[in-house]
Structure 1
Amino acid sequence: MSPQKWDENHPARILLLKEMNEGRIPLDSNEMGPAEVYYKYHSTVEFQVEGMEYNSTFTSRLRRLREQIRRDQGKPEKATKTKTARKKKDVSLTWNENHPARILLYKEIAEGRIPLDEKEMGPAEVWCTYHDTLEFQMDGVEFNDNFATRLSSLRAIVKRDQGRAANDRKALEKAMKNHPVQELNHRGEPQWNGSLAQALLQQDMAEGKHETMRPSELWEARPEYKEAFSRKDDFRWKIRQEIRTKKYLYTLEYRAEEKLRKNLKKEGIVLPDQDEDLDGVMDLEEMEDT
């Protein structure tokens, strides 16, 4: 099925014109770039029509619609950009461990979706596979010699990291063999980490039982808890520890997501809002104490 013709009857075109005329999409692209427009409306019914992808065609269509409305309203396009706009265009985000495209490529290489051997998937194929992603819309991410060099460097980094990880695993296995974990702790109780009692507590907490039952009641509910802890107070402390660990891991994930959002926003790309559990985020002081 061929894409619907881009004319006055196209649903997405009608929507975009309406949003521009009513001021929800600024006529100045410096105020709301093509990527931001697309990701603001990409989940609408009008954008589900075949052919409505974010690419150079969409950018060109959006620009022409803006020009059309300017003509209709008698507003000439600005001849020069503001200093802020020029500065934003001239300065690309630094290519470091916080750059969204670098984060994406490293992850894809590390997880095997981009082979380590460039003979299996060269720079051009990698670019064609990922060029439509949000991360690749950043200013300065282009297919050129610089991209190929960065990709090659990332492959080398992943190879090095995987080599270190393999050596670390061997060292750990050797250490565990030479120094096996004691089955009992210093109080003569079963070790907690990796135990059945820990797995059961994590399951109970995932079901919210720690919020509806007192620690003493939860301790009484399973013989595994009594076997692991002779004292209820020790079990209560373990519940707090599991909550803190979960909160810490969530905080790391949340802060990484926030950093990605800020970097994308610098390029005029705004991700859709997501549900956030701010109560589950630690402050810096809490994280340092963990």
Structure 2
Amino acid sequence: MPELPEVETTVRDLRQYLPGKTIDKVSLADWPRMIQTHPPEILSQLLAGEQILGLERRAKYIIVNLTNDKYLVFHRKMTGNLFFRQQDAPADKYTHVVIAFTDGTELRFTDLRKFGRVYLFLGKAELDGLLGRLGPEPLLDSFTPQDFQEIMRPRKGNLKVLLLNQDVLVGLGNIYVNEALFVSGLNPQRTAQSLTDGEREKLYHAIRQVLNTGIENRGTTLSDYLDGEGNKGRNQEILFVHNRDKEPCRTCGTTIAKIVVGQRGTYYCPTCQPGESSQ
């Protein structure tokens, strides 16, 4: 599943092309269940003539701000991608939704597994109904180590599972949680209540480090992820532990181990991330 760096990379790509464009219609919607808020024909009617004001990311959602207080929102789920294309460009495999613009360009939403979702919200209140429950953004300058301490101190249960919870902190998925736990030297079987203040501070900085590195490298492509122009990311080339079981740790040479935590494949270095605590 695309995580914060992959979604942020796509938003930055699409910002180069989409603002100022006027929507003509929804020219393709062959899997209606992907569109959560309106039947395809109504969605097309509501979008026709609206202009794109800008794009932003909230958690793993891509938000397209439109005129008349409308918000077109995409969630890529497991295998979704968004591409900016000329309308006469060769077809992209697994394209299920296409937003056509009046200048002969289009936005294509591709999704092999068809889990991706499209929403149109008519007003900020409707949008807030979707986004209001989400936790804080970990890369905001205003999100401080003290904020992270206050979020984490009262929490109990497995640490990795907690970090995957978007109501606690947004944007992290399996890849970047595995990486952040390695960078902070924390075993993935630790509990949240076992962390010291010092360990929580290390984790705060590790989360920000791995997310920023992911953005700098234009995301992690292990299977389906492509950026807004259809290119692979580079971050998979420098991962510390994720998807590297049976390979040597880049820091100490110990063989990377794989276990299951919270029903997720979990990669770690037994030397750099020692022990397990159930305090």
Q: Structures share a fold, TM > 0.5? A: no
Whose radius of gyration is greater, 1 or 2? 1
Give the structure with the higher percent strand.
Answer: 2
Q: Structure 1-normalised TM-score?
A: 0.23
Give the structure with the higher percent helix.
Answer: 1
Q: Structure 2-normalised TM-score?
A: 0.24
